Amino acid sequence: MKKMRVLCFGSLNYDHVYDVDHFVKPEETLKSRGYKLNYGGKGLNQSIACHKAGLDVYHAGAIGNDGEALRSYLSKHNINCDYILNKEEPTGHAIIQVANGQNNIIIYQGANACIDHSDIKEVLSHFWANDLLLIQNEVSNLSELIHEAHARHMRIVLNLAPMDQSAKDYPLEKVDTLIVNEIEAMELVEASEDIDDILSRLKEQFYDQEVIMTVGEKGSYHLYQGECFHVDAYDTDVVDTTAAGDTFIGYYLAMRERFSIVEAMRIASLASSMTCQKSGAAQSIPECDEVLSSYYLLKTKNLVSLTDHDVTWKQGPFKKIPVFYDNTKEWTYQFYKHHLLDEDYKLHYEMIKDKEIESLSVNEALTMITYYIREERTHTGVMAHALQEGVLHQLDQLIRG
C-alpha cells in the first residue's frame, strides 16, 4: 500500500495584520499600534501544520501574478507546489485586527475564487484512494471538489470555515471528517448557543461521520456514531490566536496516524496552545519535536503520584519517590512483550546502578526506568534524564511500531 498523501486544496493569502487596542467600530477611524505582512490563508496554514506534524503534503490552490512569494514559502517548507495554479485575478488577502490576543478577519478571495471544473479534474487525477483531501471554505467550487474526491475514494476532511449559507448546500454526507468551531457548528445545525443542544444536533445530523468541534479555551469535542468525548484545552499566555485552529487540524490529522483519537486530540490541543504564544499565522506553528517533547513532559507529570516510601540511590536516601500509575506499567509490559529488553532487568540494573545518571545511555536509562516501574517506584533524577534524552518518546514509538 502506498503511503497516504495529504492534498490540501486551499486558500493562499497575504495577511495584513494590524495590532489595535480594540476592534474598529462602525464609522470609527482607528490608529494601529503595529503592522505585519504575513503569509496565510487557512489552506496555507493547514499545509504548514500538516507538514510540521509529519505528513507528506501537497498544496493545490491559486495565486495571481503577485503571489509567487507564497509558492516559494511553501516550497521552502518542503511542501509540493506542483498544483498551485496561476490566475489573472490578484492573490487573495486578509485584513486581520489583533486586540488583546483575539482577532477578527476580513477576507478578499481573489484568485482563490477562480478554481474551476478543469482545475479540479486535473489536480485530483494525480491522487487516489489512500490519499486525504483537506479543504476549507475559502476556495470556489467546493461542492464539485467534494463530489470528485468522493468518486476517487479519497478520505475527505472539511474544515467548514468560514461558515456561510452556501455551506448548507454542500454534499456534506460525502465528507468523512467535519471540523468546525462552536459558532460554525451552531449555524450549521441551527442550534441555540447551548453546548448540549449543539452537540445533540451534530450527533443526529452527522451520526456516521467524524465530527470535531473546537470551543476555544474550553477545549474540543469529538463525535462519532452517537459517542462524544471532551478534551480540555491547555492553559497558555495568549498572544495571537490567528493560526490556532489550523494548527489543531494539521496536528490532529498527523497524530491520528500514530496515536489513539484521544491522544491525537490532546496533542493537537497542545500544539494549538503553543501557536497562541506567538504572533503571526504560519510562522507561529510549532515544530513536531517541540510539541511532542512538551506533551511527553506533561504526560509524565500526570502519570506520577507521590508516596512516602524511601529508597536508597547510590550514597543517599530519597523520600517521597514518585510511583507510576498502571498505564505506564502497561508501557513496561509492552516493552518486554516486544523483546526490547530481556527479563534479566535486575542483572542489568546491578551492572549500571552505580553510574552517574547523566552518563546513562538511552538503553541504560530505559533499563533503570523499567527496574523502578517493576519495583513500584522510580527515581526523579532518572526520569529527568530520560525526558531530556527523549527516552519516553522513543519507548512510545517502539511500542507503537
Same domain for 198 and 336: no
Tens-digit pLDDT profile for residues 19-39: 999 999 999 999 999 999 999
Q: Which residues are annotated as a binding site for substrate?
A: 13-15, 41-45, 138, 246
3-state helix, strand, coil in the chain (%, to 5): 45, 20, 35
Predicted pLDDT of residue 348: 56
Q: Please give the average per-residue pLDDT across 104-127, as a whole number.
A: 95
Predicted pLDDT of residue 308: 37
Tens-digit pLDDT profile for residues 318-343: 333 344 444 444 555 555 444 444 44
Angle among Cα 166, 198, 47 to the nearest 5 degrees reads 55
Assigned domain for 296 exists:
no
Assigned domain for 135 exists:
yes
Q: What is the rounded distance in angstroms from the CA atom of residue 246 to the CA atom of residue 271?
A: 10
Partners of 177 in beta bridges: 157, 210
Assigned domain for 327 exists:
yes
Same domain for 62 and 32: yes
Assigned domain for 292 exists:
no
Residue partners of 212: CB distance under 8 A and separation at least 6: 177, 178, 179, 180, 220, 221, 222, 223, 252, 265
Predicted pLDDT of residue 302: 43
Q: What is the rounded distance in angstroms from the CA atom of residue 104 to the CA atom of residue 11?
A: 17
Predicted pLDDT of residue 135: 98
Domain of 264, CATH number, reads 3.40.1190.20
Predicted pLDDT of residue 207: 96
Q: Which residues are annotated as a binding site for K(+)?
A: 240, 242, 275, 278, 280, 284
Same domain for 174 and 106: yes
Location of C-alpha cell 469529538: 222
Task: Please identify which of the residues 246, 310, 326, 344 carries the catalytic annotation.
Answer: 246
Same domain for 384 and 251: no
**More reliable by pLDDT, 170 or 384:** 170
Same domain for 282 and 306: no
Same domain for 248 and 307: no
Predicted pLDDT of residue 128: 93
Q: Which three cell numbers stand for residue 12?
A: 493562499
What share of the chain has pLDDT > 90, as a percent? 61
Assigned domain for 293 exists:
no
- Residue 247, phi then psi, degrees to nearest 5: -65, -45
Q: What is the rounded distance in angstroms from the CA atom of residue 15 to the CA atom of residue 337?
A: 51
- Point out the domain boundary residue: 239, 258, 286: 286
Q: What is the mean pLDDT of the chain?
A: 83
DSSP 262-288: HHHHHHHHHHHHHHTTSSSSGGGPPPH
Same domain for 74 and 13: yes
Distance of CA 257 to the CA centre of its chain: 12
Q: Which amino acid is at 237?
A: D
Same domain for 184 and 92: yes
Q: How many domains does the chain have?
A: 2
Assigned domain for 267 exists:
yes
Same domain for 314 and 261: no
Same domain for 235 and 307: no
119 is catalytic: no
Same domain for 280 and 316: no
Q: Which residues are annotated as a binding site for ATP?
A: 181, 214-219, 245-246
- Point out the domain boundary residue: 286, 315, 336: 286
- Point out the domain boundary residue: 286, 320, 353: 286
Assigned domain for 291 exists:
no
The domain in which residue 259 lies consists of 6-286
Assigned domain for 122 exists:
yes
Same domain for 339 and 241: no
Q: How confident is the model at residue 346 (pLDDT cuts 50, 70, 90)?
A: low
DSSP 385-398: HHHHTTHHHHHHHH
The pTM assigned to this predicted structure is 0.75
Q: 354 pLDDT exceeds 90?
A: no
Q: What is the rounded distance in angstroms from the CA atom of residue 319 to the CA atom of residue 288?
A: 36
Q: Which residues are annotated as a binding site?
A: 13-15, 41-45, 138, 181, 214-219, 240, 242, 245-246, 275, 278, 280, 284
